Amino acid sequence: MADLDLAKLRMEYARNTLDEADVAAEPVQQFDRWFKEAVAAQLREPYAMTLATADTDGQPSLRIMLMRDYSERGVSFFTNYLSRKGRELTENPQASLLFFWAELERQVRISGKVSKLGAEESSAYFAQRPAASRIGAWVSEQSQVIANREVLVEREARFKHEFGDAAPRPDHWGGFCVSLEEVEFWQGRASRL
């Protein structure tokens, strides 16, 4: 255990305020405003978010994902449907997302129902990915134990040989959208008010 006094690491938040009169009428509009401010502030990966899922027994699981779209319908991201998160989202289609922009002393929490994006939308996004990332979707059996790194290297070589730079979207890969059932905006304030 480190000999740190965690209470002394406390920071005071005083960068911004959040007043009801200044908040957009619709949550997606407020999110758009804050997200654009995070991008303008040149934060590293402002589209990174924590995705919380739960299995059918209620056991939660968290991981960092990258948002790929947001609109009135919700927040979208793409993944391997056979991964732990993919299975949990299919079996228990509820999720929460958390965006934390420490430099702006802000976070946004979103919870809602999860739906799969259609094959056409998933394929359109997949086609925009770099060739190495498209191959990676074939190589990586997410959430599965592998014997060693050589397994991945061999699979990568095999799929590169098979597809070249034109790997199609695998059936086990695509998008999900989390609806905006509950959206919470948090802005750090002096004395945590």
Q: Greater confidence, 87 or 13? A: 87
* pLDDT for the residue numbered 193: 66
Amino acid at position 59, single letter: Q
Q: Classify residue 107: in a domain, yes or no.
A: yes
Print the domain residue range for 74. 11-129+171-192
Closest alpha carbon to 14 in 109, 104, 100, 98: 104
Tokens of 87: 């299975």
Q: Classify residue 2: in a domain, yes or no.
A: no
Q: Which helix (H) or strand (E) holds 173?
A: strand 173-178
Active-site residue flag, 192: yes
Each residue's pLDDT tens digit, 93-127 = 999 999 999 999 999 999 999 999 999 999 999 99
Q: Classify residue 162: in a domain, yes or no.
A: no
Q: Which CATH number is 27's domain given?
A: 2.30.110.10
* pLDDT for the residue numbered 1: 56
The answer on pLDDT for 12 being more than 70 is no
- How many Cβ atoms sit within 10 Å of the Cβ of residue 80? 21
Q: Classify residue 163: in a domain, yes or no.
A: no
Options 10, 44, 149, 192, the catalytic residue: 192
Nearest-angstrom CA–CA distance, 24 and 37: 14
User: Where does 94-168 show beta strands of DSSP type E?
Assistant: 94-101, 106-116
pLDDT, the chain, mean = 93
Each residue's pLDDT tens digit, 137-159 = 999 888 888 889 999 999 999 99
* pLDDT for the residue numbered 16: 79
Q: How many domains does the chain have?
A: 1
* pLDDT for the residue numbered 70: 98
Given a contact cutoff of 8 angstroms between Cβ atoms, the answer to whether 178 and 69 are in contact is: no
Q: Classify residue 154: in a domain, yes or no.
A: no
Q: Classify residue 145: in a domain, yes or no.
A: no
Q: Classify residue 59: in a domain, yes or no.
A: yes
Q: Classify residue 1: in a domain, yes or no.
A: no
What is the 8-class DSSP label of residue 20? G
